[in-house]
């Protein structure tokens, strides 16, 4: 089974649209999302454009604030401070990566946790790892929703996560622990990655290595979620060898059209959650 992330993301956006219509009637207002984009990174520009497009489509008030590469840290921090106080803004996102002279941690820490649509603020990270309510990073949240589409009961399943980034691997592990999975987190120093993968009921690959996960790494009937987006001479490729692995897996996400569309849909969902928190 191929997990159609595009379709599932579309369904999620339809649900969000309905929620926003309800908000309009109840609160006479709609969620607002501000994205700060610094510099000219082509990939970041495309991501931000898509975020803005889909936010508008579902009825979120979306604005993009653009700064040149040379902007100083204080200007960005002052802007975040103003956005934190602005009641019309439910969610704030600063597009990463940032120029070297801007301290990523300072920027993330400056965003009010309740407006942190990316779920990167230490308060949200701490709440997630303590099992409390929190804003959850969009990509792992998207993976989790895709997983739930094919497996309702994750209890006791052995999930092997490839990659330990703050963006993907670590929050993914927390989400799956919350669902009572047995979780193995692997990384570039893991000794026998193939054998770790072979024991998995669920594989989440988030390493940024094209086609790393081969067919003979995967147990028959496993579910495979491919987070990787790698630009190669053959076009976009995931971290999983789709052709080989799709022959043994019970379900697998394609690249593109798997996790990617869910990431943006989850950003919109997080913005709505922030709006709800602000109005509760
Ligand atoms: P990252 O910060 O570079 O982290 C990569 C992780 O993979 C690290 O923990 C690294 O280990 C591990 N790793 C690298 N090579 C490995 C290998 N050969 N074997 C085992 N582990 C290995 O990457 P990221 O930001 O998490 O992104 C991962 C991938 O997801 C990228 O392709 C990125 O483009 C993609 N991505 C997709 C979406 C989406 O919406 N679909 C969103 C975000 C990212 P160490 O910690 O030991 O270095």
All domains of the chain, ordered by start, with CATH? 28-113 (3.40.50.10860), 138-260 (3.40.50.720)
Pocket test for ligand 1, best of 9, 48, 168 (most atoms within 8 A of CB): 168
Q: For each of the chain's 280 residues, which pLDDT tens digit applies?
A: 999 999 999 999 999 999 999 999 999 999 999 999 999 999 999 999 999 999 999 999 999 999 999 999 999 999 999 999 999 999 999 999 999 999 999 999 999 999 999 999 999 999 999 999 999 999 999 999 999 999 999 999 999 999 999 999 999 999 999 999 999 999 999 999 999 999 999 999 999 999 999 999 999 999 999 999 999 999 999 999 999 999 999 999 999 999 999 999 999 999 999 999 999 8
Q: Mapped to the 3 state alphabet, what secondary structure does the chain carry?
A: CECCHHHHHHHHHHHHHHHHHHHHHHHCCCCEEEEEEECCCHHHHHHHHHHHHHHHHHCCEEEEEEECCCCCHHHHHHHHHHHHHCCCCCEEEECCCCCCCCCHHHHHHHCCHHHECCCCCHHHHHHHHCCCCCCCCHHHHHHHHHHHHHCCCCCCCEEEEECCCCCCHHHHHHHHHHCCCEEEEECCCCCCHHHHHHCCCEEEECCCCCCCECHHHCCCCCEEEECCCEEECCEEECCECHHHHCCCCCEECCCCCCHHHHHHHHHHHHHHHHHHHHCC
Using most ligand atoms within 8 A of CB, pick from 5, 138, 164, 165 the residue to mutate for ligand 1: 165
Q: How far is the CA of 165 from the centre of ligand 1 (A)?
A: 6
Residue 201 annotated in active site: no
pTM (global) more than 0.95: yes
- For ligand 1, what atom is nearest to the CA of residue 239? 32
């Amino acid at each position: 089974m191929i997990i159609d992330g595009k379709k599932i993301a579309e369904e999620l956006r339809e649900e969000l649209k309905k929620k926003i219509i309800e908000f309009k009637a109840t609160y006479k207002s709609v969620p607002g999302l501000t994205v700060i984009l610094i510099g000219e990174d082509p990939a970041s520009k495309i991501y931000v454009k898509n975020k803005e497009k889909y936010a508008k489509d579902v009825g979120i008030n979306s604005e993009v604030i653009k700064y040149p590469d040379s902007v100083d840290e204080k200007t960005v921090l002052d802007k975040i401070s103003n956005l934190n106080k602005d009641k019309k803004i439910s969610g704030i996102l600063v597009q990463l990566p940032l120029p070297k002279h801007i301290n990523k941690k300072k920027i993330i820490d400056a965003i009010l946790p309740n407006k942190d649509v990316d779920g990167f603020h230490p308060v949200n990270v701490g709440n997630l790892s303590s099992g409390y309510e929190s804003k959850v990073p969009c990509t792992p949240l998207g993976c989790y929703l895709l997983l739930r589409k094919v497996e309702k009961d994750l209890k006791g399943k052995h999930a092997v996560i490839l990659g330990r980034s703050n963006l993907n691997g670590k929050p993914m592990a927390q989400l799956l622990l919350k669902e009572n999975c047995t979780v193995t987190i692997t990384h570039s120093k893991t000794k026998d990655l193939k054998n770790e993968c072979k024991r998995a009921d669920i594989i989440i690959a988030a390493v940024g290595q094209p086609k790393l996960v081969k067919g003979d790494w995967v147990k028959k009937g496993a579910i495979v979620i491919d987070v990787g987006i790698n630009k190669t001479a053959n076009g976009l490729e995931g971290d999983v060898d789709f052709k080989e692995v799709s022959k043994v897996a019970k379900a697998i996400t394609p690249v593109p059209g798997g996790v990617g569309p869910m990431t943006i849909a989850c950003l919109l969902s997080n913005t709505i959650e922030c709006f709800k928190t602000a109005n509760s």
